[in-house]
Structure 1
Amino acid sequence: MQTTPLSPEDPAQIGGFELLGRIGQGGMGQVYLGESPGGEPAAVKVIKPSVVDSTSRLRFAQEIDILKTVWGARIAQLLDADADAEQPWLATEYVEGPDLGKHVMTHGPLPALLVLSLGSTIAEGLGYVHKQGLLHRDLKPANILLGPNGPKIIDFGLAVFAESSASLTAANTVVGTPSCMPPEQANGEKPLTSAVDVYALGTVLLFAATGHLPYQANNIHVLFHMVTDPATVPDLTGTPDELVPLLTSMLSHQAQARPTVTEVVQQCRALVEAQGMKLAQARRRLTTYTAAPPQDFPTLQPASVSDTVAPSTPAPSDPVTLPGDEARVVLPDQATSGADPTLLLTSPHQTSPASQPAPSEPAVLVPPSAHDEQDVQDTKEPGSAQDGARRTRGTGRQPARSLRHSAQAKRTAQQLREAYAAGAPF
């Protein structure tokens, strides 16, 4: 996804990070592509002035505290933050690559082998989160970024300590993404356990393999009923046969019937090795496969059914969220109140059914791929959107820098390698 130019009202820098463009926005704030004084790229999240109050500051401070706690190779790391600034902000590691949802919508479902690799990688990453006594609570395709060093988990805005009943949300409310949340979370049960993340990971892997989620409905109340009804089984249409037992167990209605994240890793490993491959090899194939269009890798065998499923295209009016924003919808009595179109989901047991259609699943806007971000100033023609952004920012501001020096270094290194290879005696 292309970085869009800064608008005249956007700050030129925040917290020492120079802002280069917009990479996402939502009800609470804006996410920018930034660069540290030392040239480190970052995703900088800034809360909108219109929503800065004591509650939003407290919730933002909680997100920062959680990001300080979580760690691991599969977590987009916190770089810096200030919840007390006039405009609260935080900066995290910038992952060059699309989210899983965007990749599947563009290129179709992943082959079964790579779904297993993704499952083991993310399950292992969640294991480190759970060891800190934390739950993610909002794992979904949009919160998995496919970076050059493998997938990364983002958006810990809803993360809580597993045994904590404290919450900054109102009573009788449910927060999260309806199609990816387990029944106990949809029912508002507390405390939640690590089984909620196992279920959510099951929905992510189902989407990766088939292009659809386990429950789909045009009405939010119908969707909640499907999720919470024990008699309504998840839709596993198009799932490769070897994945069905694993996904069925991960999407079990009862939390205690689901495998642990450790067991998910073990089962994924066993299925990969049954195909004659080491899990480390499958991980490398996943990274290579998601770094370029799948048609460039004819040696990988696609799943027989899942690759034929056409990914759905979101409607133009679909809402979007930022890392840290909940999945929310407008309730019927708020539709004309002028409220933000991403309001907290009220528990289905507290509202009556309505005919209002539910919005499609929100998607996190993510940084552009490494290919798109190679060299902003060298590759964009005069008059392009990026060129216009530079001319706009030139008025009363320092000229925008890009990641040009990094791209130049890569090109120089490549030229040196080619020159050496040409003259090498072997």
Structure 2
Amino acid sequence: MPITPLSPEDPVVLGDFELLGRIGQGGMGQVFLGESLGGEPAAVKVIKPSVVDSQSRQRFAQEVEVLKTIWGPRIAAFLGADPEAEQPWLATEYIDGPDLARHVTEHGPLPVVLTAALGAILAEALAGVHTQGLLHRDLKPANILLGPNGPKIIDFGLAAFAESQVSLTAPGQVVGTPVCMAPEQAAGEKPLTPAVDVYALGTVLLYATTGHYPYQAATPYALFHLVTDPGTAPDLSDAPADLAPLLTDMLAHRAQDRPSLHEVVQRCRATVEAHGLKIAQARRRLTAHTARHHTPAAPTPAPTVPFTVPATEVAPAASTASTAPTAPTASTAQEPPPPADEAVPTPAHPAPPAADEAAASPAPVPAAPDAPAHDTRAQHPTPDRPMTPPRPHKDTPRPLRHSLQARRTAERIRAAYAAGAPFAPSRST
């Protein structure tokens, strides 16, 4: 989706992030594409001035504190925030790819093996969140972004501490997405347990492989009735036979009847192996499959930037893709032939095999001699494309660079730092 230019009332700089354009918005806030001083792209969420009050600031500050405690390779990273600013803001990692809902809508459901690989990836990521004493509480296809290095989970705006009294909602208030909400969550039961995320993951996988949810109704009231009625079974029509038993268990009405996330990982892995693949191969094929369908948007007079934006409490906007071709996966020459519905075409000029999933990332686009390698504005200048305003404290505009290698390096540094940091996650008592 093309980003729109900043309006005259929009901020140009928030903290150390320069804002480049508008990406998404919701009832509470606006999401901008931003860039750090070091050139790191980010999704910058800003609370609308019209809704800034003591209550919204308190909830926003709670959200920031929750995001600070969540980390993992499949979680969009927290980059910075200032809930006390005149316009409260927070910045998170941007993911260059569409969300799962958009991908399924535009290209159809995922094949069985790729859905199982997605389930293993997301279940493992959620298990990591749970070990940090947190629940997601609003997992849904729109909160799964299919980036060049694999899927990532976004939007922890409703995250809460498991088995604790910490809450981001008023007493009796039910917040979340009804079509993906566990029965006990829809009924307003507290405290919630990790089983709510297991159920939500079941709805995500059902949607990924069939294009529909377990319950659908014309009104929210009717939908809540279906979800909370123990006598109404979830709709598993069109679910592949390989996945139907697991989905049935994950969507069990009673929380205690659902499998653990560890069991979900094991069963998804077994499904992949039953198709003659290793889980690492299936992961790479998932990334290659989604990247292959991620095509750039048609040129428009308005500025466009190939970024997808993670946002909390604001519906994420899927982005246009990188203009670079997709490189082959590391397993292209070594894996057994994939099933017909999962075959990944081999590019005309394959790159050397890589050891990790980065092999499926888009290759850099050759730049003009005097242009930064990934500065799309420098590559595609137009008379009606104004230069980005300079930072208030700078005399001249700063060239914008979007180096894929720089982003990868930054991600690895953050991951290495997080692994060695003396961090004690919050846990429930």
TM-score over 0.5 (shorter chain): yes
Return the structure number with greater helix share.
1
Contact 2:199 2:258 in 1 (8 A): yes
- Aligned equivalent of 1:239: 239
Q: 1:142 to 1:408 in 2, by over 3 A?
A: closer
- Aligned equivalent of 1:310: none
Contact 2:215 2:234 in 1 (8 A): yes
Contact 1:19 1:35 in 2 (8 A): yes
Deviations 1:185-223 (A, max 9, x none): 000000000000000000000111011111111111101
SS at match of 1:103: helix
Give TM-score scaled by structure 1 length.
0.76
1:209 and 2:209 equivalent? yes
1:325 aligns with one of 304, 313, 317:
313
User: How far off is 1:231 after superposition?
Assistant: 1.3
SS at match of 1:90: strand
SS at match of 1:38: coil
Give the letter aligned to residue 66 of structure 1: V
Q: 1:409 to 1:224 in 2, by over 3 A?
A: closer
- Aligned equivalent of 1:89: 89
2:320 aligns with one of 353, 365, 368:
368
Q: 1:230 to 1:405 in 2, by over 3 A?
A: closer
Q: Using the alignment, how far apart are the partners of 1:86 and 1:222 within structure 2?
A: 41
- Aligned equivalent of 1:144: 144
Give the letter aligned to residue 90 of structure 1: L
- Aligned equivalent of 2:403: 406
Contact 1:158 1:176 in 2 (8 A): yes
Q: 1:225 to 1:34 in 2, by over 3 A?
A: same
User: How far off is 1:381 after superposition?
Assistant: 5.8
Unaligned runs of 5+ in 2: 296-308, 325-364, 366-373, 408-429
Q: 1:88 to 1:366 in 2, by over 3 A?
A: farther
Q: Using the alignment, how far apart are the partners of 1:408 and 1:159 within structure 2?
A: 32
- Mapping of 1:270-349 within 5 angstroms? 270-293=270-293, 323-325=311-313
Deviations 1:324-359 (A, max 9, x none): 328xxxxxxxxxxxxxxxxxxxxxxxxxxxxxxxxx
Q: Using the alignment, how far apart are the partners of 2:126 and 2:395 within structure 1?
A: 41
Give the letter aligned to residue 37 of structure 2: P
- Mapping of 1:158-237 within 5 angstroms? 158-237=158-237
Give the letter aligned to residue 17 of structure 1: F
SS at match of 2:24: strand
SS at match of 1:242: coil
- Aligned equivalent of 2:48: 48
SS at match of 1:173: coil
Q: 1:82 to 1:253 in 2, by over 3 A?
A: same
- Aligned equivalent of 2:21: 21
User: How far off is 1:240 after superposition?
Assistant: 1.2
Give the letter aligned to residue 226 of structure 1: L
- Aligned equivalent of 2:8: 8
Deviations 1:344-378 (A, max 9, x none): xxxxxxxxxxxxxxxxxxx4224433339964314
User: How far off is 1:2 after superposition?
Assistant: 2.0
Give the letter aligned to residue 324 of structure 1: T
- Aligned equivalent of 2:353: none
SS at match of 2:403: helix
Give the letter aligned to residue 403 of structure 2: S
Q: 1:218 to 1:128 in 2, by over 3 A?
A: same
Contact 2:93 2:310 in 1 (8 A): no
SS at match of 1:43: strand
Q: 1:149 to 1:294 in 2, by over 3 A?
A: closer
SS at match of 2:130: helix
Deviations 1:278-312 (A, max 9, x none): 000000111111112299xxxxxxxxxxxxxxxxx
Q: Using the alignment, how far apart are the partners of 1:402 and 1:155 within structure 2?
A: 30
Give the letter aligned to residue 406 of structure 1: S
Q: Using the alignment, how far apart are the partners of 1:44 and 1:101 within structure 2?
A: 22
Q: How many residues align?
A: 345
Q: Using the alignment, how far apart are the partners of 1:228 and 1:90 within structure 2?
A: 35
Q: Using the alignment, how far apart are the partners of 1:11 and 1:370 within structure 2?
A: 27
Give the letter aligned to residue 365 of structure 1: A
Q: Using the alignment, how far apart are the partners of 1:42 and 1:168 within structure 2?
A: 25
Deviations 1:8-50 (A, max 9, x none): 2111111110111112111111111111111111111111111
SS at match of 1:184: helix
User: How far off is 1:391 after superposition?
Assistant: 6.0
Q: 1:87 to 1:258 in 2, by over 3 A?
A: same
Give the letter aligned to residue 371 of structure 1: T
RMSD: 2.7
1:64 and 2:52 equivalent? no
Q: 1:367 to 1:44 in 2, by over 3 A?
A: farther
Question: Between the two proteins, what is the percent identity of the paired residues?
Answer: 65
Contact 2:60 2:83 in 1 (8 A): yes
Q: Using the alignment, how far apart are the partners of 1:294 and 1:275 within structure 2?
A: 26
Give the letter aligned to residue 139 of structure 1: L
Unaligned runs of 5+ in 1: 296-320, 327-362, 411-426
SS at match of 1:46: strand
Contact 1:24 1:366 in 2 (8 A): no
Q: 1:400 to 1:238 in 2, by over 3 A?
A: farther
Contact 1:24 1:322 in 2 (8 A): no
Deviations 1:138-159 (A, max 9, x none): 0000100111111111111100
Structure 1 outlier segments of 4+, above 6 Å: 396-402, 407-410
- Aligned equivalent of 2:34: 34
